[in-house]
Structure 1
């Protein structure tokens, strides 16, 4: 499916500005279809539930090759709903990566359980299976590997350890739509997968949105009830749930975008490869993203590691190139998680990564000229 890039204005290059992500460029490339989908929802007044939500759930389940997709309000809700669906709550422990966005651990806290932090692997930014194993106690009920930045966590050892200890596996796929681990899409390897469709994601809505995917009928049934006030059917409330629903507008937008996601992913991967090629040619002191063998990285974030991060960020800002740090602190070092409870040498790899990583502009519509400009500026800092 050809994306009409001719509609995209080239303002960023002309003004020497390169945005971190360009959602307007994406919109302009499929404007007619997006506008038509929004108009259809408004015309039919199908705002909550209804045919557009049902269609997206069916489309996404088919794309994921799973039995069930349960849409909800956002990615954080999808994690919480899954934890409750699995009976996890007060007194339980859930192992999560030290290096990730707070939602992963926050969801555990919000269901009354305790997050237990594990270190990252040396190169991948994802949870270390060895660290995961060391953190298991008789209270451990689940693990949430995060496929961070679009990179697959090393699932084979995680699944093996989990099976041996009767631990549920919830995959946090908020940054990894379409990433594959040894031929299988992430979100289909554990007991269930959690997705966010925040606007900046590889598959993003125009507001908050999320979904759960699973092949487990019991998890699917409970999750759907929890997301809709605990209803088994209309006015038949069988448990305490919440109001966490995908609306018709977001569902219709996501269905349009889903048709382009495979192509956008390949464009991201092409851009990542070009970044890497230019960094190698320039012989810069930059560590480019690692890609696990037999896996497909979808590059939600293109994060390099550098020694001189502060000066590099200052230089990029002066040159009007947007960059970011994902994430400035590991979760155990945040005040809310009582840093004094953790040993200073407990998360060596995670702390090292957060001290050096810089996220560069990355999106499907990023041009070769823009990538060349980013690398040219970075070369000035070396």
Structure 2
């Protein structure tokens, strides 16, 4: 029986094959590969879609975080409050600008940064709060933004997994001072390689981000600061322009797949679907469909599904505060630790059929029942 991958890019590539190949050929013929017309147009089109004044293309989601933090004035001696339940790049970016990540535990139902625990971690060194819109679900931004206003802090959103998700009618990433996206190929809006984007409504921040991504230079060979070589290349921008026109359709497809999963898993013992709000206040775009496998059976369930030809992933097997570089700090964050033992992400892509989903759910049931 054919294996089921965690994510299948082939349907969207086949759908767009003619348009993609024509677009790529046009770029090749143009001879413009760095900061060309496609990069500029994609920035404008993404800004319109996201409802922001400025979008700045960079070469990865990690660089988007690093440059975004630096543009907000975060640097050595500062602290940035964030979640431990995220990809390492979130903390890595904070470290790269010389600041210190301060970890706050997560909500047990949503696995998002718990706003109720942030205030007790604010100190005289705190410069910013960095929420992560995990799995495509917006974090609870209202209380985070309220705390930021009260304590005069910056808010930088890690929206790497959440292109097109919404919180109270605004796009995730467009709510704080700066938002950061990744265009890694498996993302909801994915390039054919690495890519990233910074968004903001602040003219000065946008100008400084553009300055930093180009070696700290506003005019070639007249460098004013140590910056980065971090530009979204023309080929990736051209691909992303084609894909951006389909993002609403694809996100809606993911939402439909998630709804089917929740229906199929209703009443299944040993499995808990996350409290994934999709209401007027929250639009979850399901970069991942993640469940919790109870009673310490997650790893064995994953292995049994693998043997049945069904790929799953664990996002994330170890919370950041338990990595060697942070262990000695003595964090105790029980919700993040429990989530790392239980989470399992099931296959999902926009064009996934119910027949394939039935196979996934049946494989999960068999794995649970045989233990």
Q: TM-score, normalised by structure 1?
A: 0.93
In structure 2, how many angstroms separate the alpha carbons of the residues matched to 1:335 and 1:24?
A: 38
Could you tell me which of 28, 47, 64 is aligned with 2:14?
28
CA drift of 1:69 comes to 0.5
Query: Is residue 325 of structure 2 the alignment partner of residue 340 of structure 1?
Result: no
Contact 1:97/1:127 (8 A) holds in 2: yes
Q: Which residue of 2 aligns with 1:364?
A: 350
Q: Which residue of 1 aligns with 2:319?
A: 330
Contact 1:268/1:363 (8 A) holds in 2: yes
Could you tell me which of 278, 303, 312 is aligned with 2:290?
303
CA drift of 1:236 comes to 3.2
Q: Secondary structure at the match of 2:184?
A: coil
Greater shift, 225-234 or 173-182, is seen at 225-234
Contact 1:16/1:319 (8 A) holds in 2: no
Deviation string for 1:170-205 (max 9, x for gaps)? 000000000000111111110010000000100000
Give unpaired runs (5+ residues) of structure 2.
Answer: none
Contact 1:125/1:353 (8 A) holds in 2: yes
Q: Which residue of 1 aligns with 2:227?
A: 241
Contact 2:51/2:170 (8 A) holds in 1: no
Could you tell me which of 34, 37, 44 is aligned with 1:51?
37
Give unpaired runs (5+ residues) of structure 1.
Answer: 1-14
Contact 2:60/2:195 (8 A) holds in 1: yes
CA drift of 1:73 comes to 0.7
Q: Which residue of 2 aligns with 1:101?
A: 87
Could you tell me which of 262, 279, 284 is aligned with 2:269?
284
Contact 1:289/1:303 (8 A) holds in 2: yes
Q: Secondary structure at the match of 1:226?
A: helix
Q: Secondary structure at the match of 1:176?
A: coil
Q: Which residue of 2 aligns with 1:69?
A: 55
Query: Is residue 137 of structure 2 the alignment partner of residue 124 of structure 1?
Result: no
In structure 2, how many angstroms separate the alpha carbons of the residues matched to 1:291 and 1:91?
A: 36
CA drift of 1:286 comes to 1.1
